[in-house]
Homo-oligomer: A and B are copies of this chain.
Amino acid sequence: MAEGLVQILEGALLAAGEPLSVQRMALLFEEQERPSNDEIRAAIKTVGERCDDRGYELVQVASGFRFQVRQSLSTWVGRLWQERPARYSRALMETLSLIAYRQPITRGEIEEIRGVAVSTNIVKTLMEREWVRVVGHRDVPGRPAMYATTRQFLDYFNLKSLDQLPPLAEIKELDNLSGELALELRDAGQNERSEPDESAEGKAVSSAEAEERGHDEEDAEKQ
């Protein structure tokens, strides 16, 4: 049976054409023959090991496990299709990343950070791709929709969870800016700033400080 389980999972994973969760794999079996989740997990491990030198591998993404063609083969496999894979505009990617890192977020909040209006088309595209969905409405006038990313978004970008997104750059603290400014203003009338070396030094200091001070903020960010 242990051997059969591995093969059943291999077959199901390939037939499904989409990620399968452990729960869904369990439902391939009738109750009386159903393996435990631990048995399934052990079998999944074997399934993964069995692709060691194959052109595909078993990966885990947000909605479960899937066989996936190895990235190293993309040069060749990509030639199966004439069309280039869809390219998304910077505006779309910026909007998507704001939703990913700042969810739930309203369109107004996105616009505030980006400094420009978010076109309806972008939101529509993101919703149609099922990368983004409305998770509620903010309790402010107009009750704007709040957007969040979906499991499909994670699947599509090969991620298990939002934690796996590349970390956001840290923000340098502004505290020392006012100090610098005071100095600067004392040399009244002088428009030009300090020498390049000096500013580089200031930069180093400020980022070190930021690392220390900005830690809590950063953590909050990740929530």
Which residue of chain B has the shortest Cβ distance to A12 in the bound complex?
Answer: B77
A213 and B135 contacting across the interface, CB-CB below 8 Å: yes
| CB of A61 to closest CB in B, whole Å | 12
Residues of chain B within 8 A (CB-CB) of A62 are 206
- A69 on the B face (CB < 8 A): yes
Instruction: Write the A54-90 contact mask toward B (1 if CB under 8 angstroms, else 0).
Output: 1110000011100101100100110110000000000
Secondary structure at the A interface, as helix, strand, loop or mixed, is helix
Given the complex of chains A and B, what is the CA–CA distance between A217 and B205 in angstroms? Answer: 26
User: Which positions 79-120 of chain A face chain B at CB distance < 8 Å?
Assistant: 79-80, 103-104
| CB of A12 to closest CB in B, whole Å | 5
A8 and B73 contacting across the interface, CB-CB below 8 Å: yes
B203 and A63 contacting across the interface, CB-CB below 8 Å: yes
- A38 on the B face (CB < 8 A): no
B14 and A56 contacting across the interface, CB-CB below 8 Å: yes
Q: How many copies does the complex hold?
A: 2
- Knowing A20-B199, A206-B133 touch, does A55 contact B7 (C-beta < 8 A)? yes
Residues of chain A at interface, number, CB under 8 A: 71
Which residue of chain B has the shortest Cβ distance to A217 in the bound complex?
Answer: B136
A79 and B204 contacting across the interface, CB-CB below 8 Å: no
- Knowing A15-B69, A56-B10, A221-B133 touch, does A146 contact B214 (C-beta < 8 A)? yes
A56 and B11 contacting across the interface, CB-CB below 8 Å: yes
- 22 of the cross-chain contacts (CB-CB < 8 Å) are A7-B54, A8-B73, A8-B76, A9-B55, A10-B55, A11-B73, A20-B199, A21-B202, A24-B199, A27-B195, A28-B77, A62-B206, A63-B203, A103-B209, A135-B213, A148-B207, A148-B209, A149-B206, A149-B210, A150-B203, A154-B206, A209-B223
